[in-house]
Amino acid sequence: QAIESVLVRRNVPIADVDFLVCVSSTGFLCPSISALLTRSLCMPNNMRRVDIVGMGCNAAVNGLQSATAMATARPGRYGLLVCLEVCSAAYARNRKMSTAVVNSLFGDGGGALLIQASRPDSAAADTAPAVLDFEPFILTDAIDAMKFELEDGRLSFFLDKNIPHVIGQHVAIPVDRLLARHGLDTKAIRHWLVHSGGKKVIDAIERHLSLPADALRHTRAVLRDYGNLSSASVLFALERLTREGVARKGDIGVVIGMGPGTSIETALIRW
């Protein structure tokens, strides 16, 4: 549904899709998600495919890096980034408070993003943002703060209670590096697309980056309406921003995903 929706919106036939990057942290399939989608949607059988599994809630940004590289190598060709997360598959059932927190926080969802590198002689895309740069950050000292554990013979999420503090204390590091390379600071950023990791995580990011009160309105709305959708969260936030219609040509945005590692992945975009 997500793929068909974005292709219809952009009036792109499915036969014109040249590459597919699929991201998931909640399941492993063989044949892969990309192979199954190729069959079910009758996509070209010579399409280039990449499946990214197990990178966690930040994986949409990692997937966007791969999709951007593939698009840059094939100017004018269309590609899709697909994030599919079924977090309920990892719900444990016991009387632990930590389990109650996890089960009430995570939700299921899928999102798709159409990407194309314009040819040098083509006109710029109308309302679509361009991807400018990426900056990763991995805090290996907190590598066990977010992870899958075996719970009664099945995979279950583990979230350390200090995650909001860890993310908040370090989020400015990759953001500042990313912006400094382009002569920018946080005041120049009009739009923030941040993973809906949980209320305390969102509050910590807002506080440590000194963001305006409404900067993370779409992040909070996605969390309220659907829960933490793992990698798909930032695509849902982007979809809401697009529908809102407030982005203008020249506006700068920052995408932030946080996940196991502990890792913070950032991207710079411009409309």
Cβ atoms of 107 and 57 closer than 8 Å: no
Edge-to-edge strand ranges of the sheet holding 191-194: 130-138, 263-270, 252-259, 191-194
Q: What are phi and psi of 119, to 5 degrees?
A: -70, 155
Out of 22, 30, 42, 57, which one is annotated catalytic?
57
Q: What is the C-alpha separation between 154 and 144, in angstroms, rounded?
A: 18
Q: Closest Cα to residue 113, out of 252, 213, 244, 242?
A: 242
Q: What is the C-alpha separation between 30 and 18, in angstroms, rounded?
A: 22
User: How many residues in the chain?
Assistant: 271
Token pair in block for residue 133: 């740069």
22 catalytic per annotation: no
Catalytic residue numbers, as ranges: 57
